[in-house]
Amino acid sequence: MKKLTCLFLLFVSLHSLAATQRVEIMGMVCAFCAQGIEKSLQTIDDVDDIYINIDNYFVVIDSTSEKGIPDEMIKNIIVDAGYDVKKIELIDESVKNVRAQYEKK
């Protein structure tokens, strides 16, 4: 029982060190756009997982850093890929949860 409790606490503490950011993107209208953005964002070392929703024009990024990826870095990558960033914010949900929420519709 002690081992199970320790593993649970370790998992929770590791997850609390990660940050999830939601990025609203203007100009992302197709799967090819999403693929290019995802490939560009995956070059960042701290990126753990990415979910892109082209219907609602946003990207969600899980990072291994507790502060997340610097907004300016995200913005530069997306602008260099040919798109505009409308908003970047930290959110409480993980990529896994956001993906499940939008893919069940």
Span 3-61, pLDDT tens digits:
555 445 445 444 456 899 999 999 999 999 999 999 999 999 999 999 999 999 999 99
CATH for the stretch 18-103: 3.30.70.100
* 104-to-51, 56, 98, 99, 101 alpha-carbon distances in Å: 14, 15, 10, 8, 6
pLDDT surpassing 50 at residue 70: yes
Q: Read off the pLDDT of residues 44-60 as tens digits, 9 standing for 90 and up.
A: 999 999 999 999 999 99
Tell whether the model's pLDDT for residue 96 goes beyond 70.
Answer: yes
